[in-house]
Structure 1
Amino acid sequence: METTQIKSTLTYDDKVIEKIVGHALENVGGLLAVTGGFFSNIKNNLVNSASVTDGVSVEVGSKEVAVDLAIIVEYGKDIPAIVESIKAIVSQNVDSMTHLKVVEVNVNVVDIRTKEEHEAASVTVQDRVTSAASNTSQFVSEQTEKLKETVSNTVDSDETAK
């Protein structure tokens, strides 16, 4: 029996590698966020639309990958150690899933925040509007109940007076 050699090519879209990198970074200690820059941040501050690929840029070759990241780190943490963790986890995840070699990880620290500052900055306009709508709805319900009580008491006192 003769075996025929089947030719094939395997390529990865940049978005695929960006997602692998983004998911790999989710549990790096001291890393508060990977940020996508001004317009991405505006979009994310308006609505809850953060993507795992925000702030991740890659160049994918046939056998190698270069990664660029823009990050926000937690105040008081060892930044070079965080970057070493990032390099290790990114390289390991990309290699295990694609067999591509990560040859470069460029990290730009764009901000440093306490956890409290980061949580406060992460509240979106959508969150604020939702909260305001909920509070308004609750207020209207309470006022409606008060009005019903007042009307009921007025009707009762009118009937008693007759």
Structure 2
Amino acid sequence: MGQIRIAPEVIEIIAGLAATEVRGIAGMSGGVAGGIAELLGRRNLGKGVKVEVGEKQCAVDLSVVTEFGSKIPEVAAEVQNNVKRAIENMTGLEVVEVNVHVLGVAFKQEEKEEEPPTPTHRVR
């Protein structure tokens, strides 16, 4: 009938979304180029993901930032399982490797209570 080929970018997006679904992941780290693209308003769904795709198999490398206080080995293992499951279910490719590189830890910013604005009288 023909061949079905899945672009590496598609697998990058699947892997990136599956990784960010895991509790304890603050985001993906795409390096300097990814940060510049985000500043320009372009959201790259495959940011921090590199894939190698064959005809029946693929390997994935993820660069992530974890949340402060999370157990990094547990979060990384859950990312590996979630990414492997998502790619295999959606593409039919066998995932032979999911390498998780933790490049940083994000601290939660404390929410500051806003003080009600003081009324200013422009006219007396």
Structure-1-length-normalised TM-score: 0.64
2:26 aligns with 32
Percent identical across equivalent pairs?
36
1:106 aligns with 99
Choose which of 56, 62, 66 in structure 2 pairs with 1:63. 56
SS in 2 for 1:95: helix
Distance 2:22 2:69 in 1: 15
The runs of 4+ residues in structure 1 deviating greater than 6 Å are none
Amino acid at match of 2:35: N
- Name the structure with the higher helix share: 1
Which runs of no fewer than 5 residues in structure 2 stay unpaired? 111-121
Q: 2:98 aligned with 1:96, yes or no?
A: no
> How do 1:64-143 and structure 2 match up within 5 A?
64-116=57-109
Deviations 1:89-143 (A, max 9, x none): 11111111111111111111111121228xxxxxxxxxxxxxxxxxxxxxxxxxx
Instruction: Give the superposed CA RMSD.
Output: 2.0
Larger RCO, structures 1/2 (Cα 8 Å, 6+ apart): 2
- Name the structure with the higher strand share: 2
Aligned length, in residue pairs = 114
Q: Point out the structure with max Rg over C-alpha.
A: 1
SS in 2 for 1:116: coil
Distance 1:38 1:87 in 2: 24
Which runs of no fewer than 5 residues in structure 1 stay unpaired? 1-6, 118-145, 150-162
Structure-2-length-normalised TM-score: 0.82
